Amino acid sequence: MTSPVSAIEAIEKAMEGVTPGPWHVAGGGLGNKMKAPTVYHAGDDLNYVASFADFMTFHGPTRNLENARYIAACNPVAMREVLALARQAEALQRENAELREALKPFAAHKTADGIRGPHSLFYIPNDHPLLFNGLGNDARATVTVGDIRRARALLGGENAE
């Protein structure tokens, strides 16, 4: 199976030197001068990207207009936006893996969940502080029992309350 990274790189390489978008579709209708759907780029001069005239000879006009619309929608401008989103998704996946790894030491700690869960003997509530920032009157809880339970739940362990 092709990796997402190599698929993205293959599409980026294939887009080098192609006619920039946006692309449009003309033809394909009975009242239109161009009977076969044609994908074009309207820049300084009219550049035809693809015509479906030869394709119609072999396969008929059934899906040519839909195919032309699809090809026009996949123009380099739109594809660059899609590829940028794919690169962002890759970065988020890496970050997610790193964050999950960082949660493992916290999730490994069992909290006092009581004999039968909340409101039972030995249960420590979620808001019970474990770590503080500051000293004396300026001390603020930064990590609670609930944070540990949430880390465990996010990694697929026991559910957080």
* 3-state secondary structure string across the chain: CCCHHHHHHHHHHHCCCCCCCCCEEECCCCCCCCCCCEEEEECCCEEEEEECHHHHHHHCCCCHHHHHHHHHHCCHHHHHHHHHHHHHHHHHHHHHHHHHHHHHHHHCCCCCECCCCCCCCCECCCCCEEEEECCHHHCEEEEEHHHHHHHHHHCCCCCCC
Query: Is 102 domain-assigned?
Result: no
- What pTM was computed for the model? 0.59
Q: Do 65 and 112 lie in a common domain?
A: no
Query: Is 93 domain-assigned?
Result: no
Query: Is 87 domain-assigned?
Result: no
Q: Let me know if 126 is exposed, middle or buried by CB neighbors in 10 A (0-12, 13-18, 19+).
A: middle
| pLDDT score of 93 | 93
Cα–Cα distance for residue pair 39/37, rounded to 1 Å: 7
Say how many domains are in the chain: 2
List per-residue pLDDT tens for the chain, 161 residues long.
567 678 888 888 888 887 777 787 776 554 444 556 677 776 655 566 666 665 554 455 555 677 777 788 888 888 889 999 988 998 999 999 999 999 898 888 777 776 777 777 888 888 988 888 988 888 888 889 888 888 888 888 665 44
| pLDDT score of 101 | 93
The residue among 81, 98, 130 that closes a domain is: 81
Q: Do 10 and 76 lie in a common domain?
A: yes
Q: Do 14 and 57 lie in a common domain?
A: yes
Domain residues for 147? 108-161
| pLDDT score of 64 | 65
| pLDDT score of 94 | 93
Q: Do 60 and 115 lie in a common domain?
A: no
The residue among 30, 64, 81 that closes a domain is: 81
